[in-house]
Structure 1
Amino acid sequence: METLAIGFSKNKLLRERENSFLSLINENQEKLYRIAYSYVKNKDDALDIVQETVYKAYLSYHKVKKIQYENTWLTKILINTSIDFIKKNKKVVTTDIKLIENTSHFNNDNLQQKVEIKEAIDKLNEKQKTVIILRFYEDMKLEEIAKILESPVSTIKSILYRALNEMNINLKE
């Protein structure tokens, strides 16, 4: 009888973990897609990246120790999956103008400015692009970005300011 009780409690724990995982994915599905799309600029590729991310996350969900780190953990998997996808497919990725249009940080009245910003972002390296996307398009705090990229906040600030400086130089050209 004791074995039956242990088996039942394990099944209950597994169901609770699966429900928790499903909730995490459901709450973040739009964000995951947006970030993936910002990397690959293709609907189908972005969906593939999200699917791969969910699969990888499901396999290692048991490793998440604290629930407050789930979003950071999931976003990190997505970013790494996106970068791996780009490297594997050796695609030249350009920033989508719709991404720029959908953000409130830029003046939506000037199409030329949007195009110039898009081109300036495209010239950044992967880490700089990631910081810009997470900071301005996903509206994340520097501390959140630092957790995702496993870097000190001061490093993220340096990357951000360097990226903005490079974009400024490119925009002046």
Structure 2
Amino acid sequence: MHTIETRLAKLARDGDRHAFAEIVDLYKDKIYHLSYRMLGNAQEAEDVVQETFIRVYKNIKRYDPTHKFSTWIYRIGTNLCIDRLRKRKFTAYSLDADQSDGEGMDGYSVLAAKDPLPEDQLTLSETQQQIREAISKMPEKYRSVIILRYLEDMSLQEISEVLDMPVTTIKTRVHRGREYLRKRLDHAKLI
């Protein structure tokens, strides 16, 4: 059984630009939502979408049609997000606020904004905002599995394939991530 994505990927591997454009149309919003949920920044999410499709285009010949295309593309997008989160953490620790790049930007001004966009604030309920904030503060190893499991609705097996980890590790991280969220949300109710 071949999905439409698998057929499109095969056509794209053979140089069909229209097939690649259809792949972009099918996945651009999904990768954007994944990226935005992981990074909490619209501009960075857009950058990840672009980087994801550049990598897909450059590496389409490496795609193995015996595996789900969605797993392959989500792995690329998720890894790009994780790389950005790691760089962000490194940047936060290594930059001094007094250092400037000569253009009036200090180290902290290049870090991604964590505040929700105004239009997002209007549409999110208070509970949703608390959940989103708690997810954004989770350690990245739990954040990625929670987002993939509950917001992208992936199975444990699919997450295992996307993150290239054993299912048992994924189960443990989902459990610990849920516990982390429960504690954060219980704490938020007490305040």
| TM-score in same-fold range (> 0.5) | yes
Structure 1 segments unaligned to the other structure (5+ residues): 1-11, 103-107
Structure 2 segments unaligned to the other structure (5+ residues): 1-11, 92-110
State the AA in 1 paired with 2:14. Answer: L
Q: TM-score, normalised by structure 1?
A: 0.74
**Could you say if the C-alpha distance between residues 145 and 63 of structure 1 is closer, same or farther in structure 2, counting changes exceeding 3 Å?**
same
Runs (4 or more) in structure 1 with deviation over 6 Å come to none
Equivalent residue runs for 1:6-85 within 5 Å: 14-16=14-16, 18-66=17-65, 68-85=67-84
**Could you say if the C-alpha distance between residues 161 and 95 of structure 1 is closer, same or farther in structure 2, counting changes exceeding 3 Å?**
farther
User: Alignment partner for residue 160 of structure 2, among 146, 152, 157?
Assistant: 146
- Tell me the CA shift for residue 19 of structure 1: 4.3
SS at match of 1:36: helix
State the AA in 2 paired with 1:156. Answer: I
**Could you say if the C-alpha distance between residues 132 and 13 of structure 1 is closer, same or farther in structure 2, counting changes exceeding 3 Å?**
closer
User: In the aligned structure 2, how far is the partner of 1:88 from the partner of 1:13?
Assistant: 32
Provide the alpha-carbon RMSD of the alignment. 2.7
**Could you say if the C-alpha distance between residues 128 and 139 of structure 1 is closer, same or farther in structure 2, counting changes exceeding 3 Å?**
same
Could you tell me whether the CA contact under 8 Å between 1:131 and 1:160 is conserved in 2? yes
User: In the aligned structure 1, how far is the partner of 2:116 from the partner of 2:159?
Assistant: 22
**Could you say if the C-alpha distance between residues 119 and 130 of structure 1 is closer, same or farther in structure 2, counting changes exceeding 3 Å?**
same
More helix by share: 1
User: In the aligned structure 2, how far is the partner of 1:140 from the partner of 1:55?
Assistant: 24
**Could you say if the C-alpha distance between residues 169 and 22 of structure 1 is closer, same or farther in structure 2, counting changes exceeding 3 Å?**
same
Q: How many residues align?
A: 152
Percent identity of the aligned residues?
30
Note if 1:162 corresponds to 2:176.
Answer: yes
User: In the aligned structure 1, how far is the partner of 2:113 from the partner of 2:164?
Assistant: 24
